[in-house]
């Protein structure tokens, strides 16, 4: 097997699974969020908000199971991504042990529901009909509508995903089904060792990259801008590490972001970036420089995330020579000087070119982020550095004297230079020490924070 063919292992937590299925706007995403107890799925009144499957782990009565929120079905070919959403739904059903067929109790049975019912009967899976939006007593009466029985899945279960009424009862029923199957609910102990967020403006290939890493179509891809609206979380194993990848919504220039779904998706992307250990900033090789990417790079730097810049679509560049690649790197460093610490990798998410190198880089960035250097090693390092390059003074006439260099923290690394009172170090010399630390100790793709402290002796 070649390096390009080698892929990480998609982690199967071996948990029983609920698949949420239904037409658009019946409240599947609200129900999903209610069950997983966090706002993972984007919720709105706009039809077709959910496109790619949302997958979550939830705990009920001390044991854990899995739930998948598939996109809303219309069975109209003229609807955007209808074919892709149907494929995502089929994938969800393939993994499911039970289906929650969600309907809107207030709107009755639509033609789409009859089509979905026909579709589900072919799957030969246990199906529970979930009558959602029974938020008030008058809504609960609607459950007895005879049309619901005609769908062929028995009397519907009344729930309100908005306030949680009835949700516990349907989970109890689902767990009874689970406990009769091969997979049983259990407490899982696997947690990701490394969290990676994939960031970039729309249409740079973030979702294609995630699919390439997984080796399957985990998320929907399209030339249409802003196809990905929600964060998609994928857990893989590489060697002895569990790595969580978060595919985020594309982030555009603020003035171009609409007030609806895109704004919610962008907020979610920024939130997930802040919780990641490593950020992969994806740049289009055919359009590498933009104000928006400069803003993204600054934001990543402010949050002090370890960073890998992926120059995607390198297969579309005619001149792939080493000379041109180095020119490309110089241009990126000139335009994004505040992320000079980033590792730069030229890839093709479509073909898989160089994707195999990602995991070694991710691991190196994570280890650098948590690297701790002992006092003796730092003392030797600083003495040797001073002997070669004497410290340059900043403000004031007295020459600076460095007493010590010590590490204050990890994740990310922080260092303190102790200098003689009433003297100061030139900012350029502080940067010089930072670069020397990076080169000497291999702080790959990781920001280093430097402080100075004046000491009286």
Kindly report, residue by residue over 98-112, the tens digit of the pLDDT.
999 999 999 989 988
- Indicate the angle between helix axes 375-388 and 427-441, nearest 10 degrees: 120
Question: How many Å apart are CA 431 and CA 450, to the nearest integer?
Answer: 8
CATH numbers and ranges of domains, the chain:
17-178 (3.40.50.300), 194-369 (3.40.50.300), 375-455 (3.30.300.20)
Check whether 159 has a pLDDT greater than 90. yes
CA–CA gap between residue 314 and residue 332 (Å, rounded): 14
pLDDT in tens, 194-249: 999 998 888 888 888 988 888 777 664 444 444 444 556 788 898 889 999 887 76
Residue 71: predicted pLDDT: 74
Q: Would the pLDDT of 172 be above 60?
A: yes
Kindly state the DSSP code that residue 397 receives in the 8-state scheme: S
User: What's the confidence (pLDDT) of residue 45?
Assistant: 42
Decide if pLDDT at 119 tops 50.
Answer: yes
Give how far Cα 198 sits from Cα of 165, 193, 250, Å: 36, 17, 9
> Rounded to an integer, what distance in angstroms lies between the CA atom of residue 370 and that of residue 11?
25
Cβ pair 100, 128 in contact under 8 A: yes
Report the C-alpha gap between 29 and 358 in whole angstroms. Answer: 32
> What global pTM score does this model have?
0.75
Calpha distance 1→18 (Å, rounded)? 35
Burial class of residue 316, CB neighbours in 10 A (0-12, 13-18, 19+): exposed
pLDDT confidence bin for 189, thresholds 50/70/90? confident
CA distance 332 to 153: 58
Question: CA geometry: angle at 446 spanning 443 and 451, to 5°?
Answer: 85
Rounded to whole angstroms, how far apart are CA atoms 306 and 196?
10
d(CA 211, CA 216): 5
Could you tell me the pLDDT band of residue 37, with boundaries at 50, 70 and 90? Answer: confident
* Gyration radius of the chain over CA positions: 27
Q: How confident is the model at residue 366 (pLDDT cuts 50, 70, 90)?
A: very high
DSSP label of 216: S
- Pairing verdict, β 402-409 and 63-69: unpaired
- Alpha-carbon distance 355 to 395, whole Å? 48
Residue 104 near residue 86 (C-beta atoms within 8 A) = no
Phi, psi of 393 (to 5 degrees): -80, 155
pLDDT at 1 over 50: no
- Is the separation of the CB atoms in 161 and 27 below 8 Å? yes
pLDDT above 80 (res 254): no
- Pick 6 or 262 by higher pLDDT: 6
Cβ atoms of 244 and 194 within 8 Å: the answer is yes
Does position 156 have pLDDT exceeding 70, yes or no? yes
Closest CA to 6 of 211, 207, 213: 213
- Whether a cis peptide bond, with omega within 30° of 0, leads into 412 is yes
Q: Chain-wide mean pLDDT for the chain? A: 84
Which of these, 63, 61, 56, 15, lies nearest to 33 by C-alpha position?
Answer: 56
Helices (H), 122-237: 137-141, 146-149, 167-178, 206-214
pLDDT top residue among 391 and 382: 382
CA distance 146 to 217: 39
Kindly give the interhelix angle for 28-36 and 167-178, rounded to the nearest 10 degrees.
80
Strand pairing class (343-346; 306-312): parallel
């Amino acid at each position: 097997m070649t390096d390009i063919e080698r892929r990480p292992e998609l982690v199967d937590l071996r948990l029983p699974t609920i698949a949420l299925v239904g037409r658009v706007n019946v409240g599947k995403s609200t129900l999903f969020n209610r069950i997983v107890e966090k706002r993972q799925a984007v919720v709105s009144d706009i039809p077709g908000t959910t496109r790619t499957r949302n997958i979550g782990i939830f705990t009920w009565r001390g044991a854990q199971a899995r739930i998948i929120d598939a996109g809303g079905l219309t069975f109209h070919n003229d609807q955007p991504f209808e074919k892709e959403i149907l494929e995502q739904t089929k994938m969800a059903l393939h993994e499911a042990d039970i289906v929650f067929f969600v309907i809107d109790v207030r709107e009755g049975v639509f033609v789409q529901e009859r089509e979905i019912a026909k579709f589900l009967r072919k799957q030969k899976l246990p199906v529970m009909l979930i009558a959602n939006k029974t938020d008030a007593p008058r809504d609960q009466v609607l459950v007895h509508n005879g049309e619901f029985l005609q769908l062929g899945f028995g009397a519907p279960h009344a729930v309100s995903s908005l306030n949680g009424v009835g949700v516990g009862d349907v989970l109890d029923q689902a767990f009874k089904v689970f406990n009769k199957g091969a997979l049983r609910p259990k407490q899982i102990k696997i947690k990701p060792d490394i969290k990676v967020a994939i960031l970039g403006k729309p249409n740079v290939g973030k979702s294609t990259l995630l699919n390439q890493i997984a080796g399957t179509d985990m998320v929907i891809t399209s030339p249409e801008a802003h196809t990905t609206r929600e964060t998609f979380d994928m857990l893989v194993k590489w060697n002895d590490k569990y790595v969580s990848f978060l595919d985020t919504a594309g982030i555009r220039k603020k003035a171009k972001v609409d007030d609806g779904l895109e704004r919610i998706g962008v907020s979610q992307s920024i939130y997930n970036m802040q919780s990641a250990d490593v950020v992969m900033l994806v740049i289009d090789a055919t359009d590498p420089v933009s104000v928006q990417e400069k803003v993204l790079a600054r934001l990543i730097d402010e949050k002090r995330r370890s960073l890998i810049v992926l120059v995607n679509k390198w297969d579309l560049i005619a001149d792939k020579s080493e000379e041109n690649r180095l020119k490309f790197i110089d241009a990126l460093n000139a335009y994004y000087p505040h992320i000079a610490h980033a590792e730069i990798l030229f890839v093709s998410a479509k073909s898989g070119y160089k994707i195999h190198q990602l995991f070694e880089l991710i691991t190196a960035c994570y280890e650098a982020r948590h690297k701790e250097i002992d006092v003796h090693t730092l003392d030797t390092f600083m003495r040797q550095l001073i002997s070669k390059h004497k410290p340059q003074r900043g403000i004031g006439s007295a020459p600076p004297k460095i007493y010590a260099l010590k590490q204050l923290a990890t994740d990310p690394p922080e260092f303190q230079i102790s200098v003689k009172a009433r003297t100061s170090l030139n900012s350029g010399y502080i940067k010089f020490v930072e670069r020397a630390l990076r080169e000497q100790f291999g702080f790959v793709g990781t920001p280093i924070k430097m402080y100075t402290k004046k000491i009286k002796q």
